[in-house]
Amino acid sequence: MAKKMDDGFSAPDGLKKLGESISSVILGKEEVVRKMLVSMLARGHVLIDDVPGVGKTTLARALARSIDCSFRRIQFTSDLLPSDILGVKVYEPAAGEFKFMPGPIFHCVVLADEINRTTPRTQSALLEAMSENQVTIEGETISLPHPFMVIATENPIEHHGTYPLPDSQLDRFLMSVPVGYPSLEREREMLTRPRSGPATLDIPSVMGAEEIISWQQKVDSVRMGPEVADYLLEIVGRTRNRPGLRLGASPRGSLALRQACKANALLEGRDFVLPDDVKDMAVPVLAHRVVPAGAGPSGEKRRTAREAIEEIVDSTPAPL
């Protein structure tokens, strides 16, 4: 059932093809692509956090184009309003009633490009959509399509004209994934590739919405044994009493880590979770949910958080 991908992880054939499609335009980032697929299978949302120019938007577009479902990109700016995302009700004189005009959030894959360039008030418009797959407009609750995934890109807070994401917004993302610079070999390959337009325009759809939903449902049947669950809880618990962390991961973080581990197991062709799944998923799932103590630039605090989770994982004995 499973085949080995170039980055060393196994995947069922359909998911392998999806991963290869995305990796064809974002070179040398197979591990980042794998985390994107894990988030999609876990019905989660992804925050891609890194400096400009490393392929954040290309990565998000590649995933969206590889799936045969509706896609919309929202460019976040300082003057963007919540209604620009959710939609508005407009009065139609001929009908004598208000008609709802849906906003771009009503698509299966939504790219929130440079999400931290808009105000916290507008950022908060995504909270209900990301946590409950619905929005409320003037007292009316409207369901969003399935599958539904928000892929947000974020530049470091130190860049001019950006706003920090509130903790409540960060907590809605299943994972925070830095892209990083490519190796010189991969960057040389980029330079020698002929390009007549955006790389993602050439990507075919390799999986439909119904198949995505089917894979997501299979994640629910992946088993996590009590020993692995205790190991997961021990890691999360240590974030709450570790010196240097002002705020540890919440129970929502525990649930998110469990779901990511189950999705990672399925992506590797297993129906059970291993301690290695917890190790692999702990940093991307938990690092953006903890708050380091003391002041400092946001980028530095994010690095401190990632290092703290790595140290917790390394020092926590795994079950045999």
* DSSP per position, the chain: -EEE-TTS-EEEHHHHHHHHHHHTTSTT-HHHHHHHHHHHHTT--EEEE--TTSSHHHHHHHHHHHEES-EEEEE--TT--HHHHHEEEEEETTTTEEEEEE-TTSSSEEEEETGGGS-HHHHGGGHHHHHHSEEEETTEEEEPPSS-EEEEEE--TTSTT--PPPHHHHTT-SEEE---PPPHHHHHHHHHS--SS-GGGGPPP-EEHHHHHHHHHHHTT-B--HHHHHHHHHHHHHHTS-TTEEE---HHHHHHHHHHHHHHHHHTT-SB--HHHHHHHHHHHHGGGSEESS---HHHHHHHHHHHHHHHHHHSPPP-
Q: What is the pLDDT of residues 258-274, one digit of tens each?
A: 999 999 999 999 999 99
Residue 283 has pLDDT above 80, yes or no: yes
pLDDT of amino acid 200: 55
Residue 95 has pLDDT above 60, yes or no: yes
Residue 84 has pLDDT above 90, yes or no: yes
Residue 180 has pLDDT above 60, yes or no: yes
Residue 201 has pLDDT above 70, yes or no: no
- What percentage of the chain exceeds 90 in pLDDT? 50
- Average pLDDT for 103-119: 91
- Average pLDDT for 66-76: 88
Residue 320 has pLDDT above 70, yes or no: yes
Q: Computed from CA positions of residues 48, 248, 34, 109, in that sequence, does the dihedral angle turn out positive or negative?
A: negative
Residue 2 has pLDDT above 70, yes or no: no
Q: What is the pLDDT of residues 48-58, one digit of tens each?
A: 887 666 677 78
Residue 123 has pLDDT above 60, yes or no: yes
Q: Give the model's confidence band at 10: pLDDT under 50 very low, under 70 low, under 90 confident, else very high.
A: low
**Using CA atoms, how far apart are residues 275 and 69, in angstroms rounded to an integer?**
34
Residue 194 has pLDDT above 70, yes or no: no
Q: Strands 109-113 and 245-247: what pairing?
A: unpaired
Residue 8 has pLDDT above 60, yes or no: no
Q: Give the model's confidence band at 132: pLDDT under 50 very low, under 70 low, under 90 confident, else very high.
A: very high
pLDDT of amino acid 89: 87
Of 120-124, 145-149, 200-204, 257-261, which has the strongest mean pLDDT? Answer: 257-261
Higher pLDDT, 310 or 28: 310
Residue 302 has pLDDT above 60, yes or no: yes
**Using CA atoms, how far apart are residues 152 and 109, in angstroms rounded to an integer?**
11
Q: CB under 8 Å to 175, separation ≥6 — which residues?
A: 35, 38, 39, 44, 46, 47, 260, 284, 285, 288
pLDDT of amino acid 184: 79
pLDDT of amino acid 299: 63
**Using CA atoms, how far apart are residues 215 and 41, in angstroms rounded to an integer?**
6
pLDDT of amino acid 4: 40
Q: Give the model's confidence band at 126: pLDDT under 50 very low, under 70 low, under 90 confident, else very high.
A: very high
Mean of per-residue pLDDT scores for the chain: 86
Q: Structure pTM?
A: 0.86
- Average pLDDT for 108-130: 90
Q: What is the pLDDT of residues 142-165, one digit of tens each?
A: 999 999 999 998 876 666 677 888
pLDDT of amino acid 195: 62
pLDDT of amino acid 231: 98
